[in-house]
Amino acid sequence: MAGQPAERDLVIRPRRTEDLDDAAEALVAIHASDGYPVEGVDDPHGWLDSPKVIRAWIAALDGRVVGHVSINRPNGEEAVALWADQAGVPDTQIAVLARLFVLPEARGNDVGGRLMNAATTSAQMDGLRLVLDVMAKDAAAIRLYERLGWSHIGTTSHAYGDGQSIEAICFVSPEPAQTSSGSPERSE
Ligand SMILES: CC(C)(COP(=O)(O)OP(=O)(O)OC[C@H]1O[C@@H](n2cnc3c(N)ncnc32)[C@H](O)[C@@H]1OP(=O)(O)O)[C@@H](O)C(=O)NCCC(=O)NCCS
């Protein structure tokens, strides 16, 4: 790709129905390059657009979908149980940051960081604290979460496929900044 994404037309915006085909195609490419998600992408549309999704965003570079993230309702994730226990809050105050990916050719230019910020700001406005789990092998994602101030809350074993499992690390989003009115500040 010519030029850095920052110099080009990079837009982070809510996902539309018509983005799903492009996002699914990007996901299939990322599974081939990065092995994400570990369980495979037999049904990329279903994996991206399940009933669990509260909101989703895409990153469009010069009009092309190059990245994606969503906020999902809890569905038995260990990260949710860990944070509910540690913070003493109900699951209804927690959501799961999920389905984060950026095409290899667009990486290293804060596209992932900007997708994360869109999701985190939206969750704060909804009064939800975000958690996630990341496979211990996914070093770039772990680096990104740590840079954005997410905290490690435990580890778990992610089961997939035919009895396989892989170590995963659970994170919680930073504590929201409070304004004088007690509401979180909008970062974008
Ligand atoms: C994780 C991912 C979304 C990051 O996208 P991105 O647009 O490159 O994100 P950013 O540019 O905002 O930041 C990436 C960070 O990872 C770092 N990084 C890149 N490759 C790395 C590696 N192999 N090891 C450690 N850190 C790495 C970058 O230096 C950057 O950190 P820095 O800003 O402190 O230098 C992208 O790498 C990806 O799609 N990976 C495959 C799917 C995946 O793992 N998803 C997360 C599932 S929980």
- pLDDT for 95-134, tens place per residue? 999 999 999 999 999 999 999 999 999 999 999 999 999 9
- Cα 142 to ligand 1 centre (Å): 8
Distance CA 60, CA 146 (A): 24
* Rounded mean pLDDT for each run of 10 residues along the chain, 188 residues in total: 68 98 98 96 97 98 97 97 98 98 97 98 97 97 98 95 94 84 52
The three-state secondary structure class of 167 is: strand
Chain-centre distance for alpha carbon 6: 21
Is the distance from the beta carbon of residue 105 to the nearest atom of ligand 1 less than 6 Å? no
Is the distance from the beta carbon of residue 13 to the nearest atom of ligand 1 less than 6 Å? no
- Cα 149 to ligand 1 centre (Å): 14
Q: Look-up: residue for tokens 């990322």?
A: 30
User: Which residue's CA is minimally distant from atom 25 of ligand 1?
Assistant: 140
Distance CA 146, CA 1 (A): 28
- Cα 18 to ligand 1 centre (Å): 26
Domains of the chain by range and CATH?
Answer: 5-172 (3.40.630.30)
Cis peptide before 176 (omega within 30 of 0): no
